[in-house]
Structure 1
C-alpha cells in the first residue's frame, strides 16, 4: 500500500501508467525467474535453504528502498486519528463513481484468484503429476506473459482508453480458466495449462498498470494512502478467503467443478467492470479529481 501511494511523489500523474508498467515489468521479470529458481533450489538444496535465499532477497529489497530520497508532506501527529482516516479512505474508495465499481470488481477478482491458484496447485501437482520444477516453470510462463503485458500496458491503455483496457483484461481471465477447466475435464495434456497461464499473465500485465494509474490519478494525495490501504486490505482478505474456499471446494466437489466455479467468479468480476459506465468512459487519466 505504501509503494502504491509513494509512486505519485516520484512521477507526474500523466506518467503513472508508464511508471506502474515499469514496476510491473521488474516484478514480472522476477516472477519469471523466481519460480523456476525456487523449484530448482528446493530440488537441489531443500526447502529450508530456498527459504533462506528468499528471506535474504527481502533484505536487499529493503536496503534499495531505503536509498530513495524524496520530501513528503506529513500531517502533525496530534491531527491524526486512525478511525477517521480509515472511514475517509473507505468513503472515497467506494463512493467514487469510477473507483467504487472497480474496487468491487477487483475484490471479486482476488477471491477468484485465491480459489484458482489453490486448485491449480492441486491439479498440477497431484492430478497431473508435475514436479516442483515443472510447476515452477508453469508459474514462470505466467510471469513471462505478465512481463510482455506490462511492456505494452501503456500503449494498450492509450489505444483503447484506460478504463476499456482494464475491462478487456478482466474479460480475458474467464477464458484462461476455461482452458484450465478443459484440461481437468478432458484429462488433456499440460500444454493447455501453459497457454492458460500465459493468457492470465498477459491480462495481469496489461490490467495492473492501468488500474493502479487510474486509482492514483483520481485520488487526492492526502487520501491516497488511506484508499490504497483499504482496497489492498480488502483484496488480500478476499484472496485468503478464496484460498480457503478453493481448498474446501476441491475436497467437496473435486478439481473439475471447482474450476467451473473459478471461471464463473472471474466472469462476475469482469461483468461488474463492464457494467460501470464511468469506467467504460475513462479514456485518459485526469490530472486531478
Structure 2
C-alpha cells in the first residue's frame, strides 16, 4: 500500500478521508442506538415476549462473535478493508429494513427478530474488525489516540441522541417502524465510506497460508503478550456483565419502574452523557495520569456506581439508573480509548485483523453468555435481582488489572511488534511524561 506522507503536527480531522469515516460512523451509530431502544421494545410491547426471550434476542445479536469471530479476522486480513465495510453496511441496512416491512404486513414474529439479530451481528463482526484494522491505514501512530477519541466521541454522541430519538419514535410510530432509522443509518454509512479515496492494495498472501495457520498466528500473538492477555480477560468480564444489563434494562425500566417508551429513551440518553464526557476527556486524562494507569484506574473508580441500578425507583428514582450508567460508561469509554489505541500501536499491520478478531472473540464472546444469564435471572428472580448481580460484577471487573503488571506502570511500553512482548513492562514505569494526546 502506498505510504502517503502526512504532517506530524496535523490533527486527524484535517484529513478528508478521516472526516468521511467519522460521518459514516455517526450515521451508523445513530441508527444502531435507536434500535438499541426499539428492538427490545418490539419484543416487549409488540410481541409481549417474556424476559428470557428478550435475553435470547440480545444473545442472538452478539452470538456472531463466538460463531465467526476467529475466522473473520483471518478473512479480513486477506481482503481490502473498505469494500468489506461497505458490503457489511448494505447487508445490515437490508436486514433491519425487513422488520418494519414484516410489521406492516402483519407477519412479524420473534423468530424473525432472532434471525435479523444474528445476521446483523455477523455483518457487524466483519465491519468492526475491518474498521479497527483500517484506521491505522488512515492515521499515523501518533494520532491514533486522537482518532480513536474522535470515533468514541461520535459513538458516545449517538448514545446520547439515539435513545431519546428512539424512544420518541417508538411512541409516535411504534417500535417496529422506528427501526427504519437504523436501516437508513447503515445505508448512509455505506455512502460515506464509498466516497473515501485512501489507496488500499490487496494484502499479500503467503504461499503456505491457511485459515487454520492464520487463526493460530493471531491467537499466539494475543495470548503471548502479557498486557494483551490481561486486557482480554478484563474486557471479557466487563462485557459479560454489560450483556446482563442489556438483557434486563428494558424489562426493568418498562415493567418494574413503569416508564413509557419516551422516558425509557431519555433515561438511556442521559446515561450516555457520561460516555460522551469520557470520549472528550480520554486524551487529556491519558496525558495527566498515564495511559497504562488509566486502563485500571477508570473501571476501579467508576465501577461502584453500577450499584445505583438496582436502587432505582419509580418516578424521580429512575434518575439513579441514569446517574449510575453515566458514571460507569464514562469509565468504560476512557478505558476503551486507552486500550484500543495501545492494541493498534503494538500490532504489526499484517496481523491487525487477526489481532482484533482474536480479542473480539475473547472479549465479545462473553456477550451472548451474559445476555442468556441476565434473561434467565430476570425470569427466575426478577429484573431487579438480575441488576444486583450485574452491579456486583462491575465492581469486580478491575481485579485482573490490579493483579497485573499494569498496576506498577504509568505509561504503556512503546514496543514495536518485533520486540519481545514478554519483556518486563515495569521498565517503562519511570518513562517521561507524554505529550498531550488531544
CA contact (8 A) 2:306 2:395 kept: no
**1:238 corresponds to 2:366:** yes
Q: Which residue pairs with 2:57 in the alignment?
A: none
- Tell me: CA distance 1:279–1:75, structure 2 relative to 1, closer, same or farther (3 Å): farther
Alignment counterpart, residue 182 of structure 1, candidates 311, 325, 341: 311
**How many residues of Structure 1 are paired with residues of Structure 2 in the alignment?**
288
Deviation for aligned residue 1:143: 2.3
Q: TM-score, normalised by structure 2?
A: 0.62
Q: Which residue pairs with 1:120 in the alignment?
A: 249
Q: Which residue pairs with 1:76 in the alignment?
A: 205
- What CA distance in whole angstroms lies between the structure 2 residues aligned with 1:215 and 1:280? 19
- Local SS of the residue matching 1:152: helix
- After the TM superposition, which segments of 4 or more aligned residues of structure 1 sit over 4 Å from their partners? none
- What CA distance in whole angstroms lies between the structure 1 residues aligned with 2:408 and 2:171? 47
- What CA distance in whole angstroms lies between the structure 1 residues aligned with 2:255 and 2:385? 16
Q: TM-score, normalised by structure 1?
A: 0.92
Where do 5+ consecutive residues of structure 1 fail to align? none
Deviations 1:22-78 (A, max 9, x none): 001011111211111111111111223211221011011011112222234512375
- What CA distance in whole angstroms lies between the structure 2 residues aligned with 1:143 and 1:45? 24
Where does 1:49-198 land on structure 2 (aligned, <5 Å)? 49-73=177-201, 74-76=203-205, 78-183=207-312, 189-198=317-326
Report which of the two structures shows the higher radius of gyration computed on alpha carbons.
Answer: 2
CA-atom RMSD in angstroms: 2.1
Where do 5+ consecutive residues of structure 2 fail to align? 1-128, 418-438
Q: Which has the higher contact order (CA 8 A, sep 6+)?
A: 1
CA contact (8 A) 2:271 2:326 kept: yes
CA contact (8 A) 1:111 1:242 kept: yes
Q: Which residue pairs with 1:286 in the alignment?
A: 414
- Local SS of the residue matching 2:197: coil
CA contact (8 A) 2:282 2:337 kept: yes
When you count helix as a share of all residues, which structure comes out higher? 1
- What CA distance in whole angstroms lies between the structure 1 residues aligned with 2:323 and 2:370? 23
Deviation for aligned residue 1:102: 0.7
Q: Which residue pairs with 1:272 in the alignment?
A: 400
